[in-house]
């Protein structure tokens, strides 16, 4: 596997980002595992200044990984992996004009 910078990986992964349409297609009880890429993403990754390749499961281990179980509309339950807590959850749209 070729190593790449996290910013490059995030750009490559943009076509894999979950959308509101994806959530609307889920049936009640459907389950998906997600990695939250939000404004805190860079704060939660190890600074890899030495340039040594780090497997993704180690590099992203402190990010928000959660399991989502769909209920209806944009609603469901999430179970945060690291914190072992369960919450009601509503998907919503955040807009930014950074690009």
Residue 27 forms part of a structural domain:
yes
Ordered alpha helix ranges (H), the chain: 6-13, 20-24, 56-59
Residue 70 forms part of a structural domain:
yes
Per-residue pLDDT at 50 = 63
Residue 46 forms part of a structural domain:
yes
pTM over 0.75: no
Residue 21 forms part of a structural domain:
yes
Q: Which two tokens stand for residue 25?
A: 């297609």
Per-residue pLDDT at 19 = 86
Question: Per residue of the chain (99 residues), what is the pLDDT tens digit?
Answer: 577 777 888 888 888 888 888 999 999 999 999 887 767 667 766 655 566 677 777 777 666 778 899 999 999 998 887 777 777 877 766 555 444
Number of domains in the chain: 1
Per-residue pLDDT at 15 = 87
Residue 65 forms part of a structural domain:
yes
Domain that holds residue 64: 6-90
Residue 95 forms part of a structural domain:
no
Is the torsion defined by CA of 79, 80, 84, 89 positive or negative? Answer: negative
Radius of gyration of the chain (CA): 15
Residue 99 forms part of a structural domain:
no
């Amino acid at each position: 596997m070729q190593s790449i910078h996290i910013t490059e990986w995030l750009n490559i992964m943009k076509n894999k980002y979950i959308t509101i349409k994806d959530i609307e297609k889920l049936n009640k009880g459907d389950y998906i595992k997600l990695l939250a890429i939000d404004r805190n993403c860079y704060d939660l990754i190890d600074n890899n200044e030495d340039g040594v390749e780090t497997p993704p499961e180690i590099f992203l281990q402190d990010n928000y990984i959660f399991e989502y179980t769909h209920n209806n509309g944009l609603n469901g339950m999430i179970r945060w992996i690291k914190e072992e807590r369960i919450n009601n959850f509503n998907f919503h749209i955040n807009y930014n004009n950074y690009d």
